[in-house]
Amino acid sequence: MEIKPTKLAGVLLIEPEIYRDMRGSFLEMFHSQKFSAAGLPDHFVQDNYSTSCQGTLRGLHYQIRQAQGKLVQAVVGEIFDVAVDLRRSSPHFGKWIGVRLNSENRHQLWIPPGFAHGFYVLSEHAEVLYKVTDYYAPEWERTLLWNDPQLGISWPLREGKPPLLSEKDAKGKLFSEAEVFP
């Protein structure tokens, strides 16, 4: 398992070692000692699993209190996974990173508390598993507008097709109006 830093401090790309043979494959998705050694949490309180069709965009979500760290993996299909730094004290405040996660590379993205998170489904269907470090608290959930020009996220949208959005995600706040972290 390789754990690599990204251009945003705290966001890490986890590349598992995949063992393949004629029967299929095997990999470690989580290893407490290896995660702890790399500074990642080794205690998660909830696992979330979502299924989505192609063109769905979920996000950009965060909890202003009970902030969640998220360990995200596409177990079926492919997604473009995005993290936006909402930590005012960070030199990367307002910056974003996007990574393709899919069922072939089995990469995971660690997104620490203090970031908004979202993903766009590239494949016909995707199933996403993510572990979180704190419980879901709807009263503290906030949503950034996915296409805020100030953020300038380069979503790899299907040509000529707007993303499928929930009502909540379509009404996300602009970054300039959002509650952020110290």
Q: Which residues contact 30 (CB under 8 A, 6 or more apart)?
A: 71, 131
Ramachandran class of 89: left when φ > 0, alpha when ψ lies in -120 to 50, beta otherwise: alpha
Residue 151 preceded by cis peptide, ω within 30:
no
What is the Cα–Cα distance from 105 to 78, expressed in whole angstroms? Answer: 10
Selected catalytic residue, list 49, 61, 107, 117: 61
Strand partners, 165: none
61 is catalytic: yes
Q: Which of 169, 160, 45, 161 is nearest to 117 (CA)?
A: 169
| Active-site residue, selected from the candidate residues 19, 43, 130, 136 | 130
Residue 78 φ/ψ, nearest 5 degrees: -140, 140
Question: Residue 68: phi, psi to the nearest 5?
Answer: -105, 135
Active site residues: 61, 130
